Amino acid sequence: MKILAIDTSCDDTSVSLSDNDRILSNVISSQIELHKKWGGVVPVIAKRNHEEQIDFVIEKACKIARISLAQIDIFAVTIGPGLAMALEVGVKKIKELSQKFQKKVVGVNHMVGHIYANFSKNSNGKTYSGLSNNQSFPLLVLLISGGHTEFVLMKNHMDFEKIGQTLDDSVGEAFDKVANMLGWGYPGGPIIEKFARESGGKDKFNFPLPMKDSKNLNMSYSGLKTAVLRIVKEVGAESFPKINELEITDPRVTISKKPFYNVDRKTAVEIAYSFQKAAAFSLAHKLDFALEKFKVSKVLIGGGVSNNTFVRNILGKTAKEHNAKLFYPKNKKLLTDNAGMIATAAYYMASKNQFANTKYLDRDPSLSF
């Protein structure tokens, strides 16, 4: 079964071709450079860029996989959650293609995609995560992306129960906001990780761990963000971005000139490490609680924050304390937004006959489990 999948949920235009759950190509055209100067993703810019890129990315993905559009059996697309304007581009394109080639369509939940990145296989038929072919259930999933922080119990393929989530900011958002406070731009996660590495592991600020003692799987990151902001304000001089540095060329975009704080490099590195540690340990505390309660032997993680080695190490250690193992795809593309994970989710959905009625297929920006 040849599948073509598109993901345009946020700031990456991505197209993947797969043969069942084996990824043949996974092309990602990132818009990060376009959004950087705004300190976050601007929907109207994302939409326009997806429209500009989509045909080229489809062509490239087909070329790498050596498969033509006429050979595709199933067309798949992310329908949500994500930015409405951005999602629309992918949905429209998939409708066009499925009509032209008279093939079935699968509408995929982006967060389900992040879970299924763990089931994506390489051309030799091995999962990138190390999960075995005949997976037993239940599995515990921790989703840590830019928009979501959620615990999900996966009872079987395509059978999920959300068992906890953040009550405010997601952990990825906290990384992005802390980086913004320090004038480091977007996305914040990779840059905070890079600076934190220079710290030598000294936790100078010892930030409080959010909801550490609450006996449930809910999380919160806005308090941690505020605690960091207090320190940043104490030690830093307020700065404003200069308008000409922002190169505003798009008249449809208005920008709030939010201040950032000039903090000396040594202190910035210490803040980055202390923040990263608190963010990671708070996830670990919740994972500890979840494993206590659900006693599963396998934990999957998904979403952009799973790129973070420090976070992965702490979560891996916590899982081990419960005789459980942590899984994540050992493939950089599958860790952040990409269409490969959407193709894999689509394969499992198609196997269960979960096709969409193309007539009613639409984006659903706040789609949940």
Which residues here bind ligand KG4, judged by CB under 6 A?
10, 145-147, 172, 175-176, 187-190, 193, 303-305, 307-308, 336-337
Rounded Cα–Cα distance for residues 9 and 15 (Å): 12
Our finding on whether 12 is near Zn ion (CB under 5 A) is no
Sign of CA dihedral 231, 182, 213, 284: negative
Amino acid sitting at position 244: N
Q: Smallest distance, Å, CB 347 to ligand KG4?
A: 20
CB nearer to ligand KG4: give 156 or 309.
309
Q: Smallest distance, Å, CB 122 to ligand KG4?
A: 21
**Residue 176 binding result from ligand KG4, Zn ion, none, given CB thresholds of 5 to 8 Å by partner type:** ligand KG4
Which residues neighbour 144 within 8 Å (Cβ) at sequence distance 6 or greater?
170, 171, 172, 283, 301, 302, 303, 304, 305, 306, 311
Nearest Cα residue to 255 out of 81, 83, 52, 44: 44
Residue located via tokens 């419960």? 322
Binding mask 18-57 for Zn ion (x = CB under 5 A): ----------------------------------------
- 346 and 76 Cβ atoms separated by less than 8 Å: yes
Q: Smallest distance, Å, CB 145 to ligand KG4?
A: 3
- 18 and 113 Cβ atoms separated by less than 8 Å: no
- Please give the C-alpha separations between residue 187 and each of 32, 98, 158, 178, 190, in angstroms, as whole numbers: 8, 34, 30, 10, 7
Q: Smallest distance, Å, CB 101 to ligand KG4?
A: 29
Strand 2-7 to 74-80 pairing: parallel
Q: Smallest distance, Å, CB 78 to ligand KG4?
A: 10
Our finding on whether 149 is near Zn ion (CB under 5 A) is no
Q: Smallest distance, Å, CB 306 to Zn ion?
A: 10
**Residue 175 binding result from ligand KG4, Zn ion, none, given CB thresholds of 5 to 8 Å by partner type:** ligand KG4
**CB atoms near residue 357 (< 10 Å):** 8
Strand order in the sheet with 2-7: 22-30, 12-19, 2-7, 74-80, 104-109
CB nearer to Zn ion: give 49 or 98.
49
Which residues neighbour 174 within 8 Å (Cβ) at sequence distance 6 or greater?
221, 222, 224, 225, 275, 279
- 78 and 6 Cβ atoms separated by less than 8 Å: yes
- 90 and 76 Cβ atoms separated by less than 8 Å: no
Q: Smallest distance, Å, CB 305 to ligand KG4?
A: 4
Binding mask 311-350 for Zn ion (x = CB under 5 A): --------------------------x-------------
CB nearer to ligand KG4: give 196 or 227.
196
Q: Smallest distance, Å, CB 172 to Zn ion?
A: 9
CB nearer to ligand KG4: give 67 or 89.
89
Rounded Cα–Cα distance for residues 319 and 298 (Å): 8
Our finding on whether 145 is near Zn ion (CB under 5 A) is yes
Q: Smallest distance, Å, CB 10 to Zn ion?
A: 7
**Residue 207 binding result from ligand KG4, Zn ion, none, given CB thresholds of 5 to 8 Å by partner type:** none
Q: Where are the alpha helices (DSSP H) in the chain?
A: 32-36, 43-65, 84-101, 110-116, 171-181, 188-197, 222-235, 265-294, 309-321, 332-335, 340-351
Interface with Zn ion (CB under 5 A), residue total 2
CB nearer to ligand KG4: give 62 or 112.
112
**Residue 187 binding result from Zn ion, ligand KG4, none, given CB thresholds of 5 to 8 Å by partner type:** ligand KG4
**Residue 189 binding result from ligand KG4, Zn ion, none, given CB thresholds of 5 to 8 Å by partner type:** ligand KG4
CB nearer to ligand KG4: give 150 or 176.
176
**Residue 188 binding result from Zn ion, ligand KG4, none, given CB thresholds of 5 to 8 Å by partner type:** ligand KG4
Site residues (CB under 5 A) for Zn ion? 145, 337
